[in-house]
Amino acid sequence: MSASSSSPRVAVYRHEHFNAAHRIHNPAFSDAENSRIYGKCNNPNGHGHNYELTIRVSGPVDPKIGYVMDLGELSSIAKRHVTDYLDHKFLNLDVPEFATINPTAENIAVVIHGLLRPHIPAHLDVHVILAETPRNIVQFPADIVIHNS
């Protein structure tokens, strides 16, 4: 049993921000259906959002340092691998991940998780919470697993 297995599990959160534009459009639907389903987000020339990104990292508190993870380091990882990559981009055209999938908030959260996950220690859980507007918020993965410790 490692020393950290008896440490309390804590979740820490880091908040980041980026601006990006998108167009949500499904070529399998008619123009009328696209407009009805996606509303303003189907605008042919795209439109922008101010995305508020919250990264949740959870795991045992390191008994020597007292952190789950250094939040400055988490911020640097988020900046290098997420916000520098997405900020002020037209997601559909500028970000290869969205060449074939619609940049809905749900799909953006999944992509952000994939960008972050390799850079965060494997024993820590990572959840991405993305607000596309102050009232529309998504989270990936959907479920937060409560570990017994």
Phi/psi class of residue 29: alpha, beta or left (left: φ > 0; alpha: ψ in -120 to 50)?
beta
- Dihedral sign computed on CA atoms, order 81, 130, 127, 113: negative
* Alpha-carbon gap, residue 81 to 44, rounded angstroms: 29
Is position 88 annotated as part of the catalytic site? Answer: yes
Compare residues 23 and 81 and give the one whose CB is closer to Zn ion. 23
Sheet with 125-133: list strands edge to edge: 89-90, 9-22, 47-60, 125-133, 136-140
* Alpha-carbon gap, residue 81 to 78, rounded angstroms: 5
Catalytic one of 22, 25, 127, 132: 132
Compare residues 23 and 113 and give the one whose CB is closer to Zn ion. 23
**In this structure, are residues 78 and 116 in contact, taking their beta carbons and an 8 Å threshold?**
yes
Is position 132 annotated as part of the catalytic site? Answer: yes
Residues paired with residue 55 on neighbouring β-strands, in sequence order: 14, 128
Compare residues 21 and 68 and give the one whose CB is closer to Zn ion. 21
Is position 22 annotated as part of the catalytic site? Answer: no
Catalytic one of 15, 17, 88, 123: 88
| Residues 41-70, interacting with Zn ion (CB under 5 A) | 41
Residue nearest to Zn ion (CB): 41
Compare residues 5 and 19 and give the one whose CB is closer to Zn ion. 19
Least separation in angstroms between residue 23's CB and Zn ion is: 8
Least separation in angstroms between residue 42's CB and Zn ion is: 9
Q: Provide the annotated active-site residues.
A: 41, 88, 132
Q: Summarize as ranges the residues that interact with Zn ion (CB under 5 A).
A: 41
